[in-house]
Chain A
Amino acid sequence: MNFTSKNEPFEHLRKVWTSKHRNLQDKIWDKHKESLSWIGRTISPRSLALGSLGGLLLLTAPQSGSFNTQIASTQGVLEGVDTNVLLADQLKDIVPKEVRPLDKTEEGDITKTLSQVFGFKVTSELEGIKLNRNYGLIGGEQHLYRYPGDNLQAHADSSGDWAKYGGSGIAPGLGAWGYFAPSKLEFTEKDKQKERYYLAIQTFLAPGFAENVGKYRDFFKHRKMLIVNPKTGQAVVAVIGDAGPAEFTGKHLGGSPEVMDVVGLAGGPRKGAVLYFFIDDPKDEIPLGPIKIKNFS
């Protein structure tokens, strides 16, 4: 006996929206063929595939499977992989095989390398404050409420965001520093980026925390950090948005759904080893999000 399940609402939408999408493709090509052909000849196919025009110029038919694969390949998880692989190659000789706290020499070698390849100061100590460790296991966190009345659906900039990150859900409580903005009206693009690329760090385990709670709390709030997956070189600039995870979890830090995606750990167990260091950016010039290496020796 065979059971065949059919999700009728999905099938209906797939059929109707695929047909409409095809019509939109035909329409834009009919109306603007000359300029679209020109850009297709001017830009290399690989570069086109990675840019915003990839879907417009490379796709012929939005058929199931291949359509998804091609759209997805221009976004998210592949970002940051290409040139950053060179960084992974450089790190493999200086990052220990087992996931453990780094010793002074390792810390120095790694921060020197990261500062050199990214072009800004990466450090394990800032204003006399250090974390309990800089190499550990990151686990996937949920989204955070950003302002009173926020909801999960509002986090997505696109349907692709919803499909990729919506499933992570939203934490029932607020982050350690509360909302990112006091109201939706006062919520800025900067606040949005902070929640998108946030980390939960075991700030409470930092040496000296218990004696300086107020000072450390202020120091850690939205402190900018660099996270690197040493196996792939994928890297992201993020801020500390929450305190955690608890020690018993066996994890040493947490990453927002977007952070996990950028460092290539969004799939499977949503866990893996990463390097994490402070970024010395007093003028707030380094944008949050995926980052590629600038210099390589």
Chain B
Amino acid sequence: MKQFYTHLVEIEEIIVELDKLDLSDEQRHHLASLVDSSLHHTILDAILSELKEEDKRVFLKHVHDGEHDKLWEFLNGKVDNVEDKIKKSAEQLKVEMHKDLKEARQKRSTTKVDD
């Protein structure tokens, strides 16, 4: 699903790191869901935190309707440098995820044998 912020957030580096792990299809889907959902929560929180209560409702309605042009017109009128704020919040999350990926790669897969 194309999100309204897709053009602002590059996730290529995260994917390159995930590709280095030996994951089954199910594991790939599971981690991908966590990445996308975490990013979505982070970005929505960053935007909602900049809006007044009544504006939050308008914004959420636009997100739900998937009307990206209207959504951007609205956001640009309500929040200064909203694109930079989105990029910054996503970048912070990506830095954390990179750290987690680095730690994960240091773990080694094991096979346990039980008699």
Give the B-binding residues of A (Cβ under 8 A).
1-14, 16-18, 20-21, 24-25, 27-28, 31-32, 34-36, 38-39, 42-43, 47-48, 51-53, 55-56, 59, 62, 64, 67-68, 71-72, 74-75, 153-154, 156-160, 162-164, 166-167, 189
Is B23 located at the chain interface by the 8 A CB criterion?
yes
- Which residues does chain B contribute within 8 Å of A55, judged by CB atoms? 37, 40
The residue that A156 contacts in the complex, of B7, B15, B53, with Cβ under 8 A, is: B15
Contact present for B103 and A12 (CB under 8 Å): yes
Q: A7-B109, A9-B109 are in contact. List 18 more A-B contacts (CB 8 A).
A: A5-B110, A9-B104, A12-B107, A17-B100, A20-B38, A21-B41, A28-B44, A28-B45, A32-B49, A38-B60, A39-B60, A43-B64, A53-B60, A55-B37, A158-B11, A159-B11, A163-B25, A163-B29
Count A-B pairs with CB separation below 8 Å.
Answer: 201
What interface size band does chain B fall in? 35 or more
Complex Cα spacing A19 to B59, Å: 27
The residue that B110 contacts in the complex, of A6, A35, A39, with Cβ under 8 A, is: A6
Contact present for B2 and A2 (CB under 8 Å): no
Complex Cα spacing A173 to B16, Å: 21
What string of 1s and 0s marks CB contacts (under 8 Å) between B81-115 and chain A? 00000000000000011001101110111111111
Q: Which residue of B lies closest to A157 (CB)?
A: B6
Give the A-binding residues of B (Cβ under 8 A).
1-4, 6-7, 11-12, 14-16, 18-19, 21-42, 44-45, 48-49, 53, 56-57, 60-61, 63-66, 96-97, 100-101, 103-105, 107-115
Complex Cα spacing A223 to B16, Å: 33
| Binding site secondary structure of chain B | helix
Contact present for A48 and B64 (CB under 8 Å): yes
- Which residues does chain B contribute within 8 Å of A48, judged by CB atoms? 64
Contact present for B18 and A4 (CB under 8 Å): no
- Which residues does chain A contribute within 8 Å of B65, judged by CB atoms? 51
CB distance from B33 to the nearest CB of A (A): 4
Complex Cα spacing A18 to B35, Å: 10
Contact present for B111 and A3 (CB under 8 Å): yes
Contact present for B32 and A162 (CB under 8 Å): yes
Complex Cα spacing A27 to B41, Å: 9
Contact present for A7 and B23 (CB under 8 Å): yes
- Which residues does chain B contribute within 8 Å of A74, judged by CB atoms? 1
Contact present for B22 and A7 (CB under 8 Å): yes
- Which residues does chain A contribute within 8 Å of B3, judged by CB atoms? 52, 158
18 A-B pairs, CB-CB below 8 angstroms? A4-B113, A9-B107, A10-B23, A11-B107, A13-B100, A13-B104, A20-B38, A20-B96, A21-B37, A27-B45, A28-B41, A34-B53, A55-B40, A56-B44, A157-B11, A159-B35, A160-B33, A162-B18
